[in-house]
Structure 1
Amino acid sequence: MNTERYQRQIILKGFGMEGQERLTMAKILVIGAGGLGCPALQYLVAAGVGLIGIADHDVVEISNLQRQVLFGSSDLGLLKVEVAAKRLKQLNPEVKIILHPVSIDKQNILEIISHYDFIFDGTDNFESRYLINDACTLLKKPLIFAAVSGFEGQLAVFNVEDESGIKTNYRDLFPVSPATGEIPNCSENGVLGVVPGIIGTMAAGEIIKLIAGIGKPLINKLLHYNLLTQEQYEINISPSDEYKQLDSKADFMNHYKENTSQSYMEINLQQMNELRNHPSTVIIDVRERHEFPQLDSNIYKQIPMAEFAGFASSEIEQQNIILICQHGIRSVAAAETLHQKYGETKNIYSLKGGISKWRRHFLTKQHE
């Protein structure tokens, strides 16, 4: 270890060489190399954490660059984990970096996180948050949680005992996961780029505090931050009895068993275009009316989610119903709503990845 690299923090009272050595011995997994993961990774690597794993299966897209500061325009289409590792190695070659270019799911999460001391959840969807939380709780792994939307962010530390021996997890705050598409993520709601930068950096600070044993980490507390007012407040989290604890791997796997009763099909652009030419097909755009790009109303029927419940109460004549939205999240929720009404009597589809994934096609069609 090159102590000169870390000299500014080693001389800190209360941190010292002992704190630096603890960082060097620590193993941290960052799940999600996005707006939250990028700043957290930069400061953890710069601080000299010994080993860092990065889990993300996505590639760099142009819409990432507004907030994901490890990537540049020349990285478009490349795997995020590979680009991030290259940048981070330039920042600090002493840190060992392990890549997990996979989508975290019930089949691999327990194995992957078992090799790390601390887990940072920088994902942007509820399905992943609950999966990561439940796996960390089962394996007793400290979990640093962060989330952002719009101009606001949240931060918490889970699965770590406080001075009274009490520890909580994400389900003590939110016992039940919302339905798919019920609450939009930042891809749907938007986010100012500096917000994940602030929250991700604060998350790195919480991790360093936990490792070095300094300060007062946000154990059993949720910090809420508002950029517009620069106000922040904390909520105390207490253990809840409104959910069932998953006490074994069997419980975990059973809880996350595949839903064999899925009633709609997620399709790609080619499949959508083939169905579009089929008689008795309607394509419904469930985005709000202010969202871009605007689509041809002769092809796409716009029924915003805010109006969808009323629309769903009326009869749809067509046999094939295709739902689309910006990122393929709200369209899934709409598909589930229609299945509750029609069951197996109609063919219900959702465009996977939404307009954003197939943006070039939709933009081209607008200018033909």
Structure 2
Amino acid sequence: MAAGKRAEGSVLGGGGGGGESQESEAPGPLLPLSRLDIRRYSRQLVLPELGVSGQLRLSGSSVLVVGCGGLGCPVAQYLAAAGVGRLGLVDPDVVELDNLHRQVLHRESRLGTPKARSAASALGELNSRVRCVPYELALSPSNALQLVRDHDVVADCSDNVPTRYLVNDACVLAGKPLVSASALRLEGQLAVYNHRGGPCYRCLFPKPPPPETVTNCADGGVLGVVPGILGTLQALEVIKIASGMGATCHGSMLLFDALEGRFRHIKLRPRDPRCAVCGDHPTVTALQDYEEFCGSSATDKCRALHLLSGEERVSVEEYKRVLDSRAPHVLVDVRPPVEVDICRLPHALHVSLSKLEGGDEGSLKSLRQRIHEARQGAGDSAVLPLYVVCKLGNDSQKAVRILQGLSQNGLGPISVKDIRGGLMAWASKIDEEFPQY
């Protein structure tokens, strides 16, 4: 049922807390709370900081949740539970098995279902009084501004750099506060942008990082509870803004270290008057091509780098033919040890990329020994093929460059190529029994 519509007899609400007045931010007239509303929200209604007026603002507010994944699930869940009037749920992906350890709104029974629809279904069972609108699409320069304008607060729960810039710029152009969070491995951070004269995301990060330095959850992993903690805190900031209590994190960034169990705040720089989008003389006055701006795709899927030429790479099918022919060669697995523990090709030599980058002498000694053994069957003067593999074919490209530089360092005549798509391509195209992770 849409916010503001009441089926039961109404109970007039008045007075109460709710912090400083922000009636101008709530769309439409605020109708009284019903008897069932009072029963449902009773534990928060008695808080002086919220009260009836704050609850009425919540029920009259709308929030756009960008991403229904590890962050978006707890954000949407707590906003629906708190009684936010309308939730817009944006996500282009479907529910997959490896989502379920952290994306707690989804279920095994909804594998293959669009995430936005799955989330809306779960939220409808939690609170049928909240209107949940699923948008089964990717946020883009063509649709972002209108979607942002249609909501009072935006929660950025995405997991890629282009979408972060897109959401930020849309919020600045539409004049909407942005609550942004991120989580990776065992760490997370939270900030509120474009609120009460504070900075926007571009003020702090005017230029995107190089694509090869960016790691997301698909690449680097994440402990499921970490986005849960950050998403819950994100929901808290949204509720405080929508109810009139005011955000805590609009002048600082909250950092969370799960391993140490520690939170800390760092003060943010003030709004930059030279900012390209929110500055005194903005140069970004319309949404742009953010994938081109960032040099990466707007996806939380595993990214694909392109560091080598086609002649320096082989497909998994080509490598399978080399393996079947029993031609002398060396396969080097450059994944971290924790990934090798999950699965490996038994004939591969494990030398992690970090060891190669650090010039670890023990690892190089093992590599020289393996090359020497393989060269016995190839002939001492023959050029020995080295193939490099990792999970996805990204780190392996970096390793090829390093090994090419070492080719004159006691390794003898070698040719070095990486295997495109890595072990996950091997699993999908060559060996269906090989684990995917």
TM-score between the two structures when normalised by the length of structure 1: 0.76
State the match for 2:391 in structure 1: 325
Whether 1:199 aligns to 2:213 is no
Q: What are the ranges of 5 or more consecutive residues in structure 2 without an aligned counterpart?
A: 1-5, 7-33, 297-304, 323-329, 360-382, 406-416
Out of 178, 182, 201, the residue aligned to residue 213 of structure 2 is 182
Whether contact under 8 Å (1:10, 1:16) holds in the other structure is: yes
Counterpart CA distance in 1 for 2:333 and 2:100 is: 27
Q: Taking structure 1 as reference, are residues 325 and 27 closer, same or farther at Cα in structure 2, changes over 3 Å only?
A: same
Out of 294, 299, 303, the residue aligned to residue 343 of structure 2 is 294
Equivalent residues in 2 for 1:59-98, closer than 5 Å? 59-98=94-133
Q: CA deviation at 1:226?
A: 2.3
- Alpha-carbon displacement from aligned partner over 1:80-119 (angstroms, at most 9, x marks no partner): 1111111100111111111111222333322322221111
Letter in 1 for 2:276: Q
Q: Taking structure 1 as reference, are residues 256 and 273 closer, same or farther at Cα in structure 2, changes over 3 Å only?
A: closer
- Alpha-carbon displacement from aligned partner over 1:166-225 (angstroms, at most 9, x marks no partner): 310223333322222413223333222222111111111110100111155211210112
State the match for 2:22 in structure 1: none
Q: Taking structure 1 as reference, are residues 140 and 349 closer, same or farther at Cα in structure 2, changes over 3 Å only?
A: farther
State the match for 2:270 in structure 1: 239
TM-score between the two structures when normalised by the length of structure 2: 0.65
Q: CA deviation at 1:120?
A: 0.5
Counterpart CA distance in 2 for 1:334 and 1:252 is: 34
Counterpart CA distance in 1 for 2:390 and 2:181 is: 29
What's the secondary structure of 2:255's corresponding residue? Answer: strand
Equivalent residues in 2 for 1:65-214, closer than 5 Å? 65-161=100-196, 166-214=197-245
Q: CA deviation at 1:130?
A: 2.4
Letter in 2 for 1:364: E
Q: Taking structure 1 as reference, are residues 91 and 245 closer, same or farther at Cα in structure 2, changes over 3 Å only?
A: same
Q: CA deviation at 1:25?
A: 1.4
Letter in 2 for 1:227: A
The CA RMSD over aligned residues, in Å, is 4.1
Q: Give the count of matched residue pairs.
A: 342
- Alpha-carbon displacement from aligned partner over 1:145-183 (angstroms, at most 9, x marks no partner): 11112322211111001xxxx310223333322222413
Counterpart CA distance in 1 for 2:259 and 2:181 is: 18
Q: CA deviation at 1:56?
A: 1.1
Q: Taking structure 1 as reference, are residues 257 and 154 closer, same or farther at Cα in structure 2, changes over 3 Å only?
A: closer
* Larger Rg belongs to: 2
Q: What are the ranges of 5 or more consecutive residues in structure 1 without an aligned counterpart?
A: 312-316, 342-346
Counterpart CA distance in 1 for 2:61 and 2:424 is: 41
- Alpha-carbon displacement from aligned partner over 1:345-365 (angstroms, at most 9, x marks no partner): xx999639x829966965525
Whether contact under 8 Å (1:156, 1:218) holds in the other structure is: yes
Whether 1:10 aligns to 2:10 is no
Counterpart CA distance in 1 for 2:256 and 2:214 is: 19
Counterpart CA distance in 1 for 2:136 and 2:58 is: 25
Whether contact under 8 Å (1:181, 1:331) holds in the other structure is: no
Counterpart CA distance in 2 for 1:225 and 1:356 is: 35
Q: CA deviation at 1:132?
A: 1.9
- Alpha-carbon displacement from aligned partner over 1:228-284 (angstroms, at most 9, x marks no partner): 333211111113659751346665326655879x9679x9xxx945565799xx998
Whether 1:355 aligns to 2:424 is yes
Q: CA deviation at 1:301?
A: 8.5
State the match for 1:364 in structure 2: 433
Q: Taking structure 1 as reference, are residues 285 and 114 closer, same or farther at Cα in structure 2, changes over 3 Å only?
A: farther
Q: Taking structure 1 as reference, are residues 182 and 89 closer, same or farther at Cα in structure 2, changes over 3 Å only?
A: same
